[in-house]
Amino acid sequence: MLHYSLADVTSFVITLNNNPVGAAYLLALVLAWRVKTRRARDRRSKRAKDTPMLLEQTSPLALASRVLQPATLRAVNGRPFNLRGWAVLDRWAFNTPSSLRALEAQGLEVLRARLLEQQARELEALEAYADMFGTATPDHEVLSLAGVETELNA
């Protein structure tokens, strides 16, 4: 990359003022540079949009409500499901929304059974390892160490 001082650029521009072809060439270079930098910025911003990220705490079933039908949400919004089950559903909605939609398409009872099974597995593992790890270890690490599969494999 070339670095020029303000004096170099000023003297170059003064020289170009007497040469219309040189001024047009400089203008074309500047415009090409602006287009190139704008495209690079757009690519970076597109990559950032393609990568999902949670920046704030969400309420239970907030992420699932973007993926599932309202009738499905009503069916899982109560007993026997609890916050753990809703966290599972939100995780599935965030990480693998297409698989969650496919599970929903298999039927409400299939989805409820799979969610209840996952909720029970995770609660069992968290309770079993609670004494060993305490509350300082995040749930996802405890589940990983316990060998509990947390992702939805449709």
* Per-residue model confidence as pLDDT tens digits over 79-112: 998 999 999 999 999 998 999 999 999 999 999 9
Same domain, yes or no: 71 and 142: yes
Instruction: Count CA atoms closer than 13 A to 139's CA, side-chain side.
Output: 15
With respect to residue 55, please indicate whether it lies within any of the assigned structural domains.
Answer: no
With respect to residue 154, please indicate whether it lies within any of the assigned structural domains.
Answer: no
With respect to residue 59, please indicate whether it lies within any of the assigned structural domains.
Answer: no
Same domain, yes or no: 46 and 72: no
With respect to residue 23, please indicate whether it lies within any of the assigned structural domains.
Answer: yes
Same domain, yes or no: 68 and 117: yes
Same domain, yes or no: 76 and 141: yes
pLDDT, position 118? 92
Residues spanned by the domain of 30: 6-50
Q: Are 65 and 73 in contact (CB under 8 A)?
A: yes
- 11-39 per-position pLDDT tens digit: 666 666 666 666 667 667 776 777 777 77
pLDDT, position 59? 81
With respect to residue 153, please indicate whether it lies within any of the assigned structural domains.
Answer: no
Same domain, yes or no: 45 and 71: no
pLDDT, position 42? 75
- 111-154 per-position pLDDT tens digit: 999 999 999 999 888 888 877 777 677 888 888 888 889 888 75
Same domain, yes or no: 28 and 82: no
pLDDT, position 91? 92
With respect to residue 71, please indicate whether it lies within any of the assigned structural domains.
Answer: yes
Q: Are 88 and 115 in contact (CB under 8 A)?
A: yes
Neighbours of 90 (CB within 10 A): 21
Q: Could you give the number of structural domains in the chain?
A: 2
Same domain, yes or no: 36 and 106: no
Q: Are 66 and 93 in contact (CB under 8 A)?
A: yes
Q: Which two tokens stand for residue 133?
A: 């790890």
Q: Is 117 exposed, middle or buried (0-12, 13-18, 19+ CB in 10 A)?
A: exposed
Neighbours of 85 (CB within 10 A): 22
Q: Are 46 and 82 in contact (CB under 8 A)?
A: no
Distance CA 89, CA 119 (A): 9
pLDDT, position 56? 65
